[in-house]
Amino acid sequence: MTPIMSKSDAAELIVAARTRRGISWSEIADKLGAPVVWTTAALLGQHPMTQEQARQVCQLLGLDEPVEESLRSQPYRGGGKEVLSDPTIYRFVEALAVYGPALKELIHEEFGDGIMSAINFRVDLARRPDPDGDRVVVTFDGKFLDYKW
Amino acid sequence: MTPIMSKSDAAELIVAARTRRGISWSEIADKLGAPVVWTTAALLGQHPMTQEQARQVCQLLGLDEPVEESLRSQPYRGGGKEVLSDPTIYRFVEALAVYGPALKELIHEEFGDGIMSAINFRVDLARRPDPDGDRVVVTFDGKFLDYKW
Amino acid sequence: MTPIMSKSDAAELIVAARTRRGISWSEIADKLGAPVVWTTAALLGQHPMTQEQARQVCQLLGLDEPVEESLRSQPYRGGGKEVLSDPTIYRFVEALAVYGPALKELIHEEFGDGIMSAINFRVDLARRPDPDGDRVVVTFDGKFLDYKW
Amino acid sequence: MTPIMSKSDAAELIVAARTRRGISWSEIADKLGAPVVWTTAALLGQHPMTQEQARQVCQLLGLDEPVEESLRSQPYRGGGKEVLSDPTIYRFVEALAVYGPALKELIHEEFGDGIMSAINFRVDLARRPDPDGDRVVVTFDGKFLDYKW
Amino acid sequence: MTPIMSKSDAAELIVAARTRRGISWSEIADKLGAPVVWTTAALLGQHPMTQEQARQVCQLLGLDEPVEESLRSQPYRGGGKEVLSDPTIYRFVEALAVYGPALKELIHEEFGDGIMSAINFRVDLARRPDPDGDRVVVTFDGKFLDYKW
Amino acid sequence: MTPIMSKSDAAELIVAARTRRGISWSEIADKLGAPVVWTTAALLGQHPMTQEQARQVCQLLGLDEPVEESLRSQPYRGGGKEVLSDPTIYRFVEALAVYGPALKELIHEEFGDGIMSAINFRVDLARRPDPDGDRVVVTFDGKFLDYKW
Amino acid sequence: MTPIMSKSDAAELIVAARTRRGISWSEIADKLGAPVVWTTAALLGQHPMTQEQARQVCQLLGLDEPVEESLRSQPYRGGGKEVLSDPTIYRFVEALAVYGPALKELIHEEFGDGIMSAINFRVDLARRPDPDGDRVVVTFDGKFLDYKW
Amino acid sequence: MTPIMSKSDAAELIVAARTRRGISWSEIADKLGAPVVWTTAALLGQHPMTQEQARQVCQLLGLDEPVEESLRSQPYRGGGKEVLSDPTIYRFVEALAVYGPALKELIHEEFGDGIMSAINFRVDLARRPDPDGDRVVVTFDGKFLDYKW
Amino acid sequence: MTPIMSKSDAAELIVAARTRRGISWSEIADKLGAPVVWTTAALLGQHPMTQEQARQVCQLLGLDEPVEESLRSQPYRGGGKEVLSDPTIYRFVEALAVYGPALKELIHEEFGDGIMSAINFRVDLARRPDPDGDRVVVTFDGKFLDYKW
Amino acid sequence: MTPIMSKSDAAELIVAARTRRGISWSEIADKLGAPVVWTTAALLGQHPMTQEQARQVCQLLGLDEPVEESLRSQPYRGGGKEVLSDPTIYRFVEALAVYGPALKELIHEEFGDGIMSAINFRVDLARRPDPDGDRVVVTFDGKFLDYKW
């Protein structure tokens, strides 16, 4: 009996295979017919995949059964505070520090007392051309949940 | 000589005046002709206002000169880690923990080595009606900056 | 213009009035016709009250308008890590440390990939008589939310 | 001489065997005739098992003697702060942050000065059907202990 | 309405009165007919006192009603990590770091799986004369509680 | 050349051998003619042993030379904050949080300005029968050291 | 007897006076005949000033004797980790995280084993025009100190 | 399939090869025709290299393909708080603690509300001869970015 | 009844009086006939003074009774981690990080298993003239205590 | 190509060889003709050695080339906060907490605004016989550096 391969080990193998075969995250997502942020997050270990999805990914990337089993397993999500200081990720953290309280005020003003769900939720990323330099546009889209006793 | 009123003291007076007079953040933003997330963030202490903007806000809310002077002053931005555990704000933190590494991968795949600026940047919040419950839609929109030596 | 009284200052006055007048949390909850855990949490600053609820509480306890205004305001929830080391509260923290991963496994086994909502949620506390010593019975009851993109 | 297999290594093997053989936590608990939360917690490393219990689990899952020996050993309980940020577990943490002080007030009001034991204690988890979405119901049930010098 | 005086403010007044009147902790304990460690801890804010006890202390020390009311109120216990670095207290912390795991092993060897209660518990401090220098002898005495589901 | 086996590796082997051979900490201490808390702490890595003591332990437990060498080496004492959250050890931590300042007051009242030594020091653990449940009695006994310039 | 005004209180009054009188940091530095980064740092509380310097600053800004006395006093330098998350300051922190180890390598390659002094040290800030956007140029200039026993 | 060699493992091999072959960071930078601080940072894992750059480095140092592949991969930047306490790096940290707020004031005075970019950015290190001891001169040079909504 | 003035408030008044009257720490120590490091530490709040010492200090500095009472009271020692980042103090912290383990090795080599007492202890500071720049010489001198059960 | 052996791995081998061959730190220092604290610190990984010194140490202790190479390499100094809680090292930490601010005051009084260098610096340890118990005498001796812009 061997343990199930950890999600982070599986992610390392996926990144290596993807790089060596020259396959983009978008191509994997297209293959699965799934949104690209969801797919990337799942392959990095943040969502469980169905057996069919896991099999397709492993076929495409030439990975074998232990990776497939790992992709299907239930994750512990998040973790990894140390990644938050990477500059590309940190700018999102800084944006929350600056605009978080304003978002809270405006959610309460528009919707009442409650939150944006992070479970019934999706994220999208797009490139918006701009003469002054193209822009990264990230959309958080979650169901409003009101405090209901 | 007295110190300039702190941004957090000014914000408390603004929140109190806004509540008692029944004026929404949107109405203040409309009055200034400025985006509502920017306006709310500025009034909570995260952006300096011009003299004209500060004067308009104080007139509308019945606040006097020390608040106006405070609104015009240059802030120390961010701070306040303790606000991140408020459930309404925490869901954004959790979304970053779950999707941050995926966003990093996709920014590099689409744009190359670099970041989304948090300075040449805007945030919008909208309500999207949905039969299963309306949704909070937050858009982060920042210029891509590539690592350039 | 004065700031709105902070939730913690209001809570201190409520505790003082409650003690001096000999009124229990249950009696306040009965007066409001609201669940006792909800009522206590709200009076300690964790939920906003309606104008009518705030007025009733202040009448009952002999508190005046600034407390009423504070009770109606929108809270920053949580905070206060230092309270978690109080022995009465710490036992719940310890229970999570010991049983948290088991609860996660069983939620996924029974419901699939998702969480117990802490927003569409209620808590109850009861005393269960027992010959070996009465028991504290606390029930967490939240809607299951599945990860849905 | 080799060290006793660590509780976390044993837990990884148990999870792997359980998944591959398609055996649920409930089925293991039934086999042992023990409560399911207790059983799951014990198999994840939080309680020592008797020799008989450990043997039954290992038989059922096809695991060998080192796992059995590990299951019987005395644990260091808790640990693992990093698991608390997993969304499924975090909602319990958030509930404590919001309702912990209220529970303390009500325990003292009902029972006097003391605590709910986390040792003479049990936890149960149930699914409650609800037309608006089924609910996760978790019950903490501990003996009241009064401060007694 | 004024808040109840905080336990730490009351403790500061008690220490001041005790010092100025030259009354020892032991004398206060004798007056109350209570153990001296319990009495000292209670006066420093760690235990609620009965009305009679609080009145006797205030009479003895010449303190007035707000201190008495504070002494009777229910405390948040513990807190104050910063006091642990005081050398007199730190030596106990160091002793736990060095001997804590050994005490755990021996409690389990002697009593089985469980803990020493810190609620059904007492502490005593004595001076033991010794030709090589007198000794501080501190006894922790708590009921054994076994893990019982 | 190989490094000296770490104290924690040696402790794991000692615990494994002790368990498999069914030898108690007390029996080892008796064999050595040393106090049981001291012996247990030393075997868990907190005190160096003499060559003779280390040899006797290894003989009794069937362990070989690298363990013996490790037991004789000088330790870094303490460490391991994570063990402090184990419930059996945590109750001592909690007792210090509640009673530490009182012990400081009483040490100063009885002995003057100084500390209880944690070096010229011993700890004992005993079981005291009690009709309401037997009690764990732990005694800290250290030489008083006064601040002396 | 009153305490000396704290450096941070003095800095707040200096910032207020500077803003209200419309005097720049550069003008103050010119008045003193001192480098502008040194002057600004000193007025924010990081260096003691001579009596003559302190008098000149107070005259220019219309501040009185307690500020002058504070400016002359010896500071505790640094402090204030919370300022490091302000975006304008954070970019320097990030640059250290990315380039710090490279600077260490190159200092050792060029100078041998040692450090750049932060005491025998100066900092300058300049604006360098650039058609793609002007640049902030900050120079750290410290004496090399080699490890010398 | 094997994972891509980590940036830190690659950096260790580069440092070893560089030392054993007696090749300086400057020589590597010259070979690449790239700035020396950039080159050193990239080889320590902070920047991705082009295929051509990675090949040249590996040829020069006698390293093989896995190092080359690692050098080309996209890094997580920063990390490693523990390196900040190395005395050679710490002096920069201390300089930020002492001069950071002054730099912020002067950037705002000279450029307005904004930051020095750490992305469109370069660092240089030079030796400046000085009769009192040569000096380490480090220049941070980044594009000014103004807050622009 | 008023609380005893805190040690830090007393220290601020002492520093202010010392500065305004132009009296050095050495002069105060001479007046008391006590070592200068001890005296300075005591006046900054780290040691209790006798009534006679406290009176002499207050007379010399023109301070009144509450300061005298504060100086005589028993301190909580240490505290204030934030002072450790002041560069003048930090150099001692850094020296411990670099040389602490070596000192431990040498204490054990020379004295056996034990510690240097920080209670039966003194510190001295001297200036040693040196043609390359005078030197700060600080001596820690503590009684060796061996681990003795 | 293999990485250079880490300083901590080298230190472990040195400690093992030293112990097994019965060679003291002083004997190694004598062999090198270097101060004993410097030698011990260098062998524990805090200073680079010359090729000649490294060779002599390895010859004396019977260690081979990888250790020699490691000893010559440039260290990251310090690190290891966890060692600071070892009682033998902690007493120095405590002494800094108690006497650090007094040392700062006296350095400024005697030398003016500046620091004791920790680079141009030496440490010595001696045993001073004393009828009441021998004493550990540790001397910190560093060049005074004044703040000089």
Mean pLDDT of chain G: 97
* Of residues C57, C45, C43, C50, the one with CA closest to residue C72: C50
Poorest-confidence range of B30-39, F72-81, H12-21?
F72-81
Q: What percent of chain D has pLDDT over 70?
A: 100
Return the CATH number at I122.
3.30.1160.10
> What angle, rounded to 10 degrees, do the helices at C36-43 and C25-32 form?
110
Q: How far is CA H17 from CA H25, H64, I54, in A?
A: 12, 11, 65
CA distance E131 to chain D (A): 33
What integer pLDDT is reported at residue F95 of this predicted model? 97
pLDDT tens string E81-133: 788 999 999 999 999 999 999 999 999 999 999 999 999 999 999 999 999 99
Query: 3-class SS at G149?
Result: coil
Give the whole-angstrom CA distance, residue G100 versus residue G107.
Answer: 11
Question: A113 and A86 in one domain?
Answer: yes
What integer pLDDT is reported at residue A80 of this predicted model? 73
Determine contact, residues E28/E92, Cβ cutoff 8 Å: no
Question: F63 and F27 in one domain?
Answer: yes
The count of other CB atoms within 10 Å of the CB of residue D75 is 20
Q: Using CB atoms, which residue from B85, B87, B94 is nearest to D87?
A: B94
Burial of F95 (0-12, 13-18, 19+ CB in 10 A): buried
pLDDT category, A81, cuts 50, 70, 90?
confident
The count of other CB atoms within 10 Å of the CB of residue I55 is 15
C-alpha triplet A122, A125, A127: angle, nearest 5°: 155
Q: Is the ipTM of this complex over 0.90?
A: yes
The whole-number average pLDDT for the span I94-103 is: 97
Poorest-confidence range of E29-38, H2-11, H99-108, I74-83?
I74-83
Question: A91 and A67 in one domain?
Answer: no
Determine contact, residues A5/A67, Cβ cutoff 8 Å: yes
What integer pLDDT is reported at residue H82 of this predicted model? 79
Q: Using CB atoms, which residue from I84, I100, I111 is nearest to J136?
A: I111
> Is residue B105 annotated as part of the catalytic site, yes or no?
no
Q: Cβ F117–I48 below 8 Å, yes or no?
A: no
pLDDT tens string E96-110: 999 999 999 999 999
> Is residue D94 annotated as part of the catalytic site, yes or no?
yes
Is G1 a residue whose pLDDT tops 90?
A: no
Question: A86 and A62 in one domain?
Answer: no
Give the whole-angstrom CA distance, residue G103 versus residue J45.
Answer: 21
Chains F and D lie in contact, requiring 3 or more CB pairs less than 8 Å apart: yes
Question: J89 and J66 in one domain?
Answer: no
Give the whole-angstrom CA distance, residue D68 versus residue D47.
Answer: 13
Determine contact, residues C91/D142, Cβ cutoff 8 Å: yes
Give contacts of D94 with chain B, Cβ < 8 Å: 85, 87, 90
Tokens 């912990």 found at: D100
Burial of J132 (0-12, 13-18, 19+ CB in 10 A): exposed
C-alpha triplet B51, B53, B59: angle, nearest 5°: 100
CA distance E138 to chain J (A): 20
Residue G147 has what DSSP assignment?
Answer: -
* Of residues H35, H94, H137, A96, the one with CA closest to residue G96: H94
Q: Using CB atoms, which residue from B97, B133, B135 is nearest to A78?
A: B97
Give contacts of A17 with chain H, Cβ < 8 Å: 1
Q: Cβ H94–I90 below 8 Å, yes or no?
A: yes
Determine contact, residues G12/B70, Cβ cutoff 8 Å: no
What integer pLDDT is reported at residue H53 of this predicted model? 98
Per-position pLDDT tens, chain F of length 149:
899 999 999 999 999 999 999 999 999 999 999 999 999 999 999 999 999 999 999 999 999 999 999 999 999 999 777 889 999 999 999 999 999 999 999 999 999 999 999 999 999 999 999 999 999 999 999 999 999 98
Whether B1 is covered by a domain: the verdict is no
Q: Cβ G98–A85 below 8 Å, yes or no?
A: no
Mean pLDDT of chain J: 97
Give contacts of B118 with chain G, Cβ < 8 Å: 87
Query: 3-class SS at C3?
Result: coil
Residue G83 has what DSSP assignment?
Answer: G
Whether I27 is covered by a domain: the verdict is yes
Q: What is the torsion angle, in degrees rounded to the nearest 10, for the CA atoms of residue D143, residue D147, residue D148 and residue D149? A: 140
Determine contact, residues C102/D41, Cβ cutoff 8 Å: yes
Determine contact, residues C39/C13, Cβ cutoff 8 Å: no
CA distance J98 to chain E (A): 9
Whether D1 is covered by a domain: the verdict is no
For chain E, the maximum distance between any two Cα atoms, rounded to a whole number of angstroms, is: 58
Q: Using CB atoms, which residue from D17, D63, D86 is nearest to A78?
A: D86
The count of other CB atoms within 10 Å of the CB of residue C10 is 25
Q: How far is CA C38 from CA D129, G142, H90, in A?
A: 23, 61, 50
The whole-number average pLDDT for the span I32-57 is: 98
The amino acid sitting at C97 is A
Output the six-digit token pair for H63: 């390293």
Strands of I135-146's sheet in order across: I114-128, I135-146, J135-146, J114-128
Whether B137 is covered by a domain: the verdict is yes
pLDDT category, C145, cuts 50, 70, 90?
very high
What integer pLDDT is reported at residue G4 of this predicted model? 98
Give the whole-angstrom CA distance, residue D18 versus residue E85.
Answer: 47
Segment holding I32, helix H or strand E? helix I25-32
Give the whole-angstrom CA distance, residue F125 versus residue F139.
Answer: 6
Q: Looking at D72, D93, D128, which one is the last position of a domain?
A: D72
Q: Looking at G54, G72, G90, which one is the last position of a domain?
A: G72
Question: F66 and F87 in one domain?
Answer: no
Question: J59 and J87 in one domain?
Answer: no
Chain I interface disruption, residue of F46, F76, F119, F124, most I CBs within 10 A: F119
Q: Using CB atoms, which residue from B4, B78, B79 is nearest to G16?
A: B4
Is G34 a residue whose pLDDT tops 80?
A: yes
Q: How far is CA E56 from CA B20, E62, G39, in A?
A: 48, 10, 60
> Which chains does chain F touch, 3 or more C-beta pairs < 8 A?
C, D, E, I, J
pLDDT category, I82, cuts 50, 70, 90?
confident
Give the whole-angstrom CA distance, residue F32 versus residue F20.
Answer: 20
pLDDT tens string E36-52: 999 999 999 999 999 99
pLDDT category, D82, cuts 50, 70, 90?
confident
* Residue of chain B whose Cα is closest to the Cα of H115: B119
Q: Is the dihedral of CA F25, F31, F36, F41 positive or negative?
A: negative
Q: How far is CA D77 from CA C100, E121, F12, G14, G104, in A?
A: 12, 22, 17, 55, 43
Contacting F residues, span 30-49, partner chain J, CB-CB under 8 Å: none
Tokens 């120590």 found at: I29
- Chain Cα centroid distance, residue D66: 22
What integer pLDDT is reported at residue B79 of this predicted model? 73
Count up the domains in chain H and report the number: 2
Q: How far is CA D65 from CA A30, F14, F143, J38, in A?
A: 47, 19, 48, 51
* Of residues D77, D147, D76, the one with CA closest to residue C93: D77
Question: H138 and H87 in one domain?
Answer: yes
Give the whole-angstrom CA distance, residue A94 versus residue G147.
Answer: 39
Q: Looking at F53, F72, F91, which one is the last position of a domain?
A: F72
B136, β-bridge pairs: A142, B127
Q: Cβ A143–B133 below 8 Å, yes or no?
A: yes
What integer pLDDT is reported at residue G82 of this predicted model? 80
Output the six-digit token pair for J18: 């030293």
Give the whole-angstrom CA distance, residue J84 versus residue F114.
Answer: 22
Give the whole-angstrom CA distance, residue F114 versus residue F97.
Answer: 20
Give contacts of I69 with chain E, Cβ < 8 Å: 19
The whole-number average pLDDT for the span G76-104 is: 94
Main-chain phi, psi angles of G139, to 5 degrees: -115, 125
What integer pLDDT is reported at residue G79 of this predicted model? 73
Q: Cβ A48–C113 below 8 Å, yes or no?
A: yes
pLDDT tens string B110-140: 999 999 999 999 999 999 999 999 999 999 9
pLDDT tens string A3-41: 999 999 999 999 999 999 999 999 999 999 999 999 999
pLDDT tens string J88-121: 999 999 999 999 999 999 999 999 999 999 999 9
The whole-number average pLDDT for the span H94-102 is: 97
Q: Which region holds residue C63: left if phi is over 0, alpha if psi is between -120 and 50, else beta? A: beta
Contacting B residues, span 57-76, partner chain G, CB-CB under 8 Å: 69, 73, 76
Is B38 a residue whose pLDDT tops 90?
A: yes
What integer pLDDT is reported at residue I79 of this predicted model? 73
Whether D2 is covered by a domain: the verdict is no
The whole-number average pLDDT for the span A54-58 is: 98
pLDDT tens string C58-116: 999 999 999 999 999 999 999 777 789 999 999 999 999 999 999 999 999 999 999 99
Instruction: State the catalytic residue, choosing from F12, F52, F65, F94.
Output: F94
pLDDT tens string B86-103: 999 999 999 999 999 999
Whether G50 is covered by a domain: the verdict is yes
Question: J90 and J67 in one domain?
Answer: no
- Chain Cα centroid distance, residue B89: 12
Question: H14 and H48 in one domain?
Answer: yes
Whether H41 is covered by a domain: the verdict is yes
Whether E23 is covered by a domain: the verdict is yes
Question: A94 and A59 in one domain?
Answer: no
Residue I148 has what DSSP assignment?
Answer: B
Question: F56 and F99 in one domain?
Answer: no
Q: How far is CA F144 from CA A77, D32, I142, J134, in A?
A: 51, 54, 16, 18
Return the CATH number at J44.
1.10.260.40
The whole-number average pLDDT for the span J64-77 is: 98
Give the whole-angstrom CA distance, residue E60 versus residue E80.
Answer: 28
C15 has a chain E CB within 8 A of its CB = yes
A145, β-bridge pairs: A115
pLDDT category, E56, cuts 50, 70, 90?
very high
Q: Cβ A149–C35 below 8 Å, yes or no?
A: yes
Give the whole-angstrom CA distance, residue A115 versus residue B119.
Answer: 26
Give contacts of H91 with chain I, Cβ < 8 Å: none
* Residue of chain C whose Cα is closest to the Cα of D113: C88
Q: How far is CA D123 from CA D37, D79, D140, H86, in A?
A: 7, 19, 5, 48
Residue F111: give the domain boundaries. Answer: 83-146
* Of residues I46, I70, I76, the one with CA closest to residue F104: I76
